[in-house]
């Protein structure tokens, strides 16, 4: 059976079709070509530039520039020489430790020991004399300790409370004001 319709080329519509003349040839798959009939998407840069300039003008008018925003207060220590030498005659603030130990149950059964290269007192009166003579005042010459120099009373675990209080009283009579108690050893 022979057809009376004329032969058409591939990609073309047969005659009498409603879409005749509107279609474009279909490129083979994978050829990488675009259809010529489609419109490209493009941005209108003129409108975007106008919007950017309007925003720029808005922010320039709405922003306040103050000089105070640039100043920051800094509390820095005063300048000192890079290598400041320590005074060789300055006394250390190492606390003077006085150890108190009970040697029996009698009131006079105790022993005292002062840490450091000092003559060791035999009783609380000698401790008072030692501390009074070595305090820096207007009346004494060659003192070692300021009245607020740290003093630490160190009892042993078996020291009786009255012996610790007698050591504290010797320090108070010598007018030392920075007296503390350490944990018993």
pLDDT winner (highest mean) among 10-14, 15-19, 105-109, 162-166? 162-166
pLDDT winner (highest mean) among 26-35, 79-88, 103-112? 103-112
Nearest CA-CA partner of 167 in 116, 120, 128, 115: 128
- Angle, in degrees to the nearest 10, between helices 161-173 and 124-133: 30
User: What residue has token string 């300048």?
Assistant: 79
The domains of the chain, with CATH numbers, are 96-181 (3.30.420.270)
Rounded distance between C-alpha atoms, residue 109 and residue 111, angstroms: 7
pLDDT digits (tens, 9 = 90+) for 43-87: 888 999 999 999 999 999 988 776 655 566 667 677 766 555 666
pLDDT digits (tens, 9 = 90+) for 17-26: 555 455 556 5
Whole-number percent of the chain with pLDDT over 90: 40
Rounded distance between C-alpha atoms, residue 108 and residue 173, angstroms: 19
Q: What is the mean pLDDT of residues 133-156?
A: 86
The better pLDDT of the pair 74, 13 is held by 74
Please, what is the average pLDDT of the chain?
Answer: 79
**CA atoms within 13 Å, Cβ hemisphere of 31:** 7
Q: With a threshold of 0.95, does the pTM exceed it?
A: no
Rounded distance between C-alpha atoms, residue 155 and residue 113, angstroms: 10
Under the banding of pLDDT at 50, 70 and 90, the label for residue 14 is low
In DSSP terms, which residues pair with 96 in a beta bridge? 151
Under the banding of pLDDT at 50, 70 and 90, the label for residue 180 is very high
Q: First and final CA of the chain: distance in angstroms?
A: 125
What is the reported pLDDT for 115? 92
Strands, sheet with 110-114, edge to edge from the N-terminal-most edge strand: 110-114, 96-102, 151-155, 179-181
pLDDT at 3 over 60: no
């Amino acid at each position: 059976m022979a057809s009376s319709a004329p032969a058409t080329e591939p990609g073309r519509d047969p005659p009498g079709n409603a879409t005749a003349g509107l279609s474009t040839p279909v490129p083979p798959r994978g050829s990488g070509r675009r259809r010529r009939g489609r419109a490209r998407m493009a941005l209108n840069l003129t409108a975007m530039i106008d919007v950017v300039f309007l925003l720029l003008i808005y922010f320039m008018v709405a922003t306040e520039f103050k000089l105070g925003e640039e100043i920051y207060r800094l509390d820095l220590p005063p300048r000192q020489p890079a290598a400041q030498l320590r005074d060789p005659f300055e006394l250390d603030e190492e606390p003077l430790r006085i150890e108190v130990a009970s040697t029996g149950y009698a009131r006079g059964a105790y022993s005292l020991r002062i840490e450091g290269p000092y003559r060791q007192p035999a009783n609380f009166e000698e401790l008072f004399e030692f501390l009074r003579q070595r305090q820096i005042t207007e009346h004494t010459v060659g003192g070692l300790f300021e009245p607020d120099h740290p003093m630490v009373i160190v009892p042993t675990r078996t020291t009786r409370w009255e012996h610790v209080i007698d050591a504290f009283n010797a320090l108070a009579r010598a007018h030392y004001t920075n007296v503390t108690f350490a944990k018993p050893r």
